[in-house]
Structure 1
Amino acid sequence: MVEVPLDYGNPRGQKIKIAVSRKKATDTANYQGAVLFNPGGPGGSGLAYPAVMTTRLGAALAAKYDLIGFDPRGVGSSEPALRCDVHFFDPVRPDYVPSNLAEELAWVKRSKGYAEACGKTYGSLLDHMTTVDAATDMDQIRKALGQSQISYVGYSYGTYLGATYATLFPTKVRRLVLDSIVNPERVWYDANIDQNHAFEARATDFFAWIAKYDATYHLGTTGADVEKAYYAARAKLKAAPAEGRVGPDEFDDTYLAGGYLKSRWPLLADALSKYVTASETAPLLAAYATYGDSSGDDNSFAVYSAVECSDAKWPRNWATWHRDWWQSYRTAPFLTWGNAWFNAQCAYWPVRAAREQRIDGRQVKNALFFQDTKDAATPYQGGVEMHKRFPNSRLVVMDGGGNHGLTGRGNACIDDIWKAYLSDGTLPASMPGPDVHCAPFADPVPPASATTLMKSSAAQDDDWVPGER
């Protein structure tokens, strides 16, 4: 544990504890210092990441670093860990998509209640849960490690955390890797609306992929056919949730996972097919358990809320939300209302938002960024904007892969650049626009057997990167 001030404006006051894990370097002759990892969220735990990153980097490169994982303030093993309502995600919840104003206002009441519960339990802590606070904690970890500089690898929200650290402490950055990048111009209300449209595009791709393999899935030969089957299944689950656990919201949460990694498509397609064509619920329940089940513990969501609601201003008038989200729903129904209710507590958050931190990387000497053009959770423009703000950075783009989290997944073009930079600081040559374009992985194909399906899914998700909602 690293003890840090709750309030950096009062450093002699109350202290909290940040949980830290470390795997020490063994190749001391080629020692590269300490590298910190953050998997995203906000609310994701990083304690397991020294082991995860040993696999991703390879043993030889990992041995050059002290690999540092940590749980940001409020997360997991850090103290205190936020939990506002551990039953908030218990199934079956009211349908995300309101059929009338009364249902919409019932969800508003539910979201407001969550915000009030957080305020009642953690009133003083919520004033100090911004990304700036978490980034300042990172510098306390650096000091505790006895390092003059640190390197950093961040995914998804972790890119915003890393960019904030680099803005506040530019001379303390040795190497900086940001993978699947938050748009610093859109934090956070606008970023969530951007996600609605990006996930809609990925859902369209998913439906078209299923249609391509109609001989396997029998849901129609066009994406429109499959989309119709998908929403019919959703309506059926609203009327009769599968085994009393998977209703329309749980279904939405499960299939949202396909927007992060296309390697999940075969398992999700199989579950949808068996439910639609044969009324089998077991594959759907298994998919929900793997990708959608957040019941029983709201720690990640509590921290997500505390950080995002505090980082920047949100509309405090529900009429604004009502206008904006119904407008989004008209062209992006797949995620819009689920995303609205994942964030609506911010309209009623008991702590007023801090002044938004302007991200400025002009003083950072080097950085390496990765972005997929079809990333749904952190859309492509985020990588472009962050690249502009860090003039000494390089931007590596995967063209059309649709994956969220690119490094360490076996794409040679991506990984060779990533590992060279972490090994000795080598960066690609600077080019106009993106500096390097990498071809994506091929789309998956339906596995030959159920056993292969489960093994393939497990292999892809043993190190899954939690992302933005």
Structure 2
Amino acid sequence: MKKLVVVAATAGLGMTGLGLAGATSASAATDTSDAFRPASLSWHACSADIVAGAKAYDGLGPVQVSKIIQCAELQVPLDYAHPNGQKITLELTRTPHQGTGAAKGDILVNPGGPGGEGALFGPRVYAQNSAAMQKAYNVIGFDPRGIGFSTPKLTCDENYSNAPRPEYGTGGKADDAAWLKKSKAYAQACYQKFGRGSKLDLLDHIKTIDSVRDMNTIRKALGHKKLDYYGASYGTYLGQVYATVFPKRVGRMVLDGNVGPKHVWYEAQLDQDYAFDKNIEYYFGWIAKYDNVYHLGNTQAKVHKFFYGLQASLAKKAATFTDSSGAVSAVGPDELVDGIQTAGYRRSQAVWNSYAAALAAYKTNNVEKFVGTFGVQTTGGSDDNEFAVYNAVQCTDTQWPLSWNKWHADAVKVNKTAPFETWGNVWFNAPCLYWNAKAGTPVKVGQTKDLPKNILMFQATEDAATPYAGALELHKTLKGSHLVVQDGDRTHCIVHRGDLRPGGVDSYFDAYFLNGTLPKQDTVHVSQLGDPTPPASTAKATSAKSEVVK
């Protein structure tokens, strides 16, 4: 599931070997990992890097979260089947409540992924919370095993994403051969560093169920009988598995942008291909609506033609730019698709306008702006931690098909009607063809007699990263859950996206955590806020540029 991360995605959406007590239908009473007793948490000032990361969210609300954030480290078993064996360390953050007296509780939060850094998601959620929520709750962020500031940090090949990469293609032999070779080498690099026989066999112990057990350990370290939780994107999968494995430990749980439990994970990325294609075509229509601003075509079909023509041109010759420091960035066809895919994740003036303006800049030979928006470094490497953990989790949560013929046939079929990201998604996930770690069996979500009845779900009907059909499936599976639907919205994860209207999305979120109030109906529908419009400054600047070119 390509880039299933709420804070970016990235761009992208997108578990016999679970170990203890038959985890396919485990409960708190049968999963022996619940017996592990962690040390209590010792909160202290955070490192300069974490404080610097938190500063990015200081402007989201009146509280400067970088000045109040606290940190703690928590040791957990590498393998819960051997709780007294080798340990790894999770990095936690606490953004404390601002009310008087004791906090109403601690909300553990996760941003998605797999591979999303959660320690800094804590201050983000806190900063976006209402004043009433900030007074009532501490927000606890955590970097799951292998991620971010937790140790060890999983990285495999920091040069893997350097631009320009081989063209994604459409299933031709040359493109396939190049990407299969590249994917196999990446999987082998991961195994050499963190596979069996290495100093720390992390790859066999980084499934969803391992992080779910870590969440339960965090609950105990916080000193709570039950866990209050907000999970977004892949974080909803962590939440639904937690509710199944530890049902009696669930306090208040919100799941936002929901993973369908039956398509983990190969089928899920096929579902995304159709959904993202639909959203990108809608975005092309939006650009066409403002042709007086962007000048890329006054119909959806014309913008579509421009985009795919640009992609073909970049396949022949990538666009490059060298900045004042001498660093070179490039945009080939892959980088273009990966970059603009973010526009399919959410309805946002900042994103929709900046990408349309960058496409317009290419048309007027403003290479600096175009590459500055979509470019990726050509040398020097990058932090591949997110991508490494994404693969480590998804490739071992369940066994992916090992037949390349099946992958190829499925992609060819999907690409006929949804060409935007189909082959890019294939190659994003292709390391799973070669992943050398023991695959598990997914937990059967909802298969427990004690399933909590108070889970609150949020979902946009046009969410591409986690399509609506999966949310409906999960809602049916989590019997007793309630679902808030934003009709017509294309935003992946809808809490804290500015819907502060009475009866709007955030009002349901607050009522639940502050008062335990669930919607009166099983499912409630909320209208979307509406598509953005280009800022006036963009219209003036683009118009002026066009006049100069003429």
Correspondent of 1:169 among 216, 224, 246 = 246
Q: Which amino acid aligns with 1:274?
A: A
Q: Which amino acid aligns with 2:506?
A: D
Measured in 2, the distance between the counterparts of 1:379 and 1:436 equals 18
Residue aligning to 1:255:
340
User: Match of 2:369, SS?
Assistant: helix
Correspondent of 1:77 among 134, 149, 157 = 149
Measured in 2, the distance between the counterparts of 1:14 and 1:352 equals 19
Residue aligning to 2:510:
419
Deviation at 1:63, TM superposition (A): 2.5
Residue aligning to 1:384:
472
Deviation at 1:102, TM superposition (A): 2.3
Residue aligning to 2:172:
100
Residue aligning to 1:56:
128
Deviation at 1:138, TM superposition (A): 0.6
Unaligned runs of 5+ in 1: 454-469
Correspondent of 2:401 among 315, 322, 328 = 315
TM-score where L is the length of structure 2: 0.79
Matched, 1:282 2:359: no
Residue aligning to 1:458:
none
Residue aligning to 1:224:
301
Cα gap change, 1:53/1:151 in structure 2, threshold over 3 Å: closer, same or farther?
A: same
Correspondent of 1:366 among 435, 454, 462 = 454
Measured in 2, the distance between the counterparts of 1:219 and 1:426 equals 48
Matched, 1:18 2:90: yes
Q: Is the 8 A contact 2:171 2:423 kept in 1?
A: no
Cα gap change, 1:28/1:7 in structure 2, threshold over 3 Å: closer, same or farther?
A: farther
Query: Which has the higher mean CA deviation after the structures are superposed, 444-453 or 366-375?
Result: 444-453
Correspondent of 2:291 among 214, 223, 246 = 214
Per-residue CA shift, 1:263-320, capped at 9, x if unaligned?
A: 12111111112212x1222222232269xx9951100000000000011120011111
Cα gap change, 1:395/1:294 in structure 2, threshold over 3 Å: closer, same or farther?
A: farther
User: Match of 1:192, SS?
Assistant: helix
Cα gap change, 1:117/1:142 in structure 2, threshold over 3 Å: closer, same or farther?
A: same
Measured in 1, the distance between the counterparts of 2:141 and 2:238 equals 14
Residue aligning to 1:272:
359
Residue aligning to 2:57:
none
User: Match of 2:525, SS?
Assistant: strand
TM-score where L is the length of structure 1: 0.92
Residue aligning to 1:440:
528
Q: Is the 8 A contact 1:53 1:62 kept in 2?
A: no
Q: Which amino acid aligns with 2:242?
A: Y
Deviation at 1:26, TM superposition (A): 4.0
Residue aligning to 1:303:
389
Residue aligning to 1:461:
none
Measured in 1, the distance between the counterparts of 2:241 and 2:380 equals 28
Residue aligning to 1:149:
226
Per-residue CA shift, 1:204-232, capped at 9, x if unaligned?
A: 10111111111112121211110000011
Q: Which amino acid aligns with 1:416?
A: S
Residue aligning to 1:404:
492
Residue aligning to 1:241:
318
Residue aligning to 1:462:
none
- The two structures, once aligned, show a CA RMSD in angstroms of 2.0
4+ long deviations beyond 6 Å: none
Q: Is the 8 A contact 1:89 1:294 kept in 2?
A: no
User: Match of 1:331, SS?
Assistant: coil
Query: Which has the higher mean CA deviation after the structures are superposed, 294-303 or 281-290?
Result: 281-290
Per-residue CA shift, 1:232-273, capped at 9, x if unaligned?
A: 111122222111511111111111110011212111111112
Per-residue CA shift, 1:372-411, capped at 9, x if unaligned?
A: 1100000001211111121121101011110012001111
Residue aligning to 2:434:
348
Deviation at 1:30, TM superposition (A): 6.8
Deviation at 1:66, TM superposition (A): 2.1
Residue aligning to 1:465:
none
Residue aligning to 1:134:
211
Q: Which amino acid aligns with 2:514?
A: S
Matched, 1:67 2:152: no
Residue aligning to 1:324:
410
Measured in 1, the distance between the counterparts of 2:79 and 2:236 equals 23
Deviation at 1:60, TM superposition (A): 2.6
Q: Which amino acid aligns with 2:182?
A: R
Cα gap change, 1:295/1:335 in structure 2, threshold over 3 Å: closer, same or farther?
A: farther
Q: Which amino acid aligns with 1:207?
A: F
Cα gap change, 1:191/1:247 in structure 2, threshold over 3 Å: closer, same or farther?
A: same
Measured in 2, the distance between the counterparts of 1:419 and 1:294 equals 45
Deviation at 1:10, TM superposition (A): 1.1
Matched, 1:4 2:91: no
Deviation at 1:53, TM superposition (A): 1.6
Which of the pair is proportionally richer in helix? 1
Percent identity over the alignment? 45
State which structure, 1 or 2, has the greater radius of gyration over its C-alpha atoms. Answer: 2
Q: Is the 8 A contact 1:33 1:150 kept in 2?
A: no
Measured in 2, the distance between the counterparts of 1:162 and 1:251 equals 33
Residue aligning to 1:459:
none
Q: Is the 8 A contact 2:171 2:408 kept in 1?
A: no
Matched, 1:43 2:115: yes
Measured in 2, the distance between the counterparts of 1:66 and 1:443 equals 33
Q: Which amino acid aligns with 2:436?
A: P
Residue aligning to 2:182:
110
Q: Which amino acid aligns with 1:41?
A: G
User: Match of 1:236, SS?
Assistant: helix
Cα gap change, 1:62/1:295 in structure 2, threshold over 3 Å: closer, same or farther?
A: farther
User: Match of 1:3, SS?
Assistant: strand
Unaligned runs of 5+ in 2: 1-72, 196-200, 321-328, 542-550
Correspondent of 2:191 among 94, 106, 119 = 119
Q: Is the 8 A contact 2:154 2:389 kept in 1?
A: yes
Deviation at 1:59, TM superposition (A): 3.1
Measured in 1, the distance between the counterparts of 2:265 and 2:485 equals 23
Per-residue CA shift, 1:159-194, capped at 9, x if unaligned?
A: 001111111111111101000001111000000000
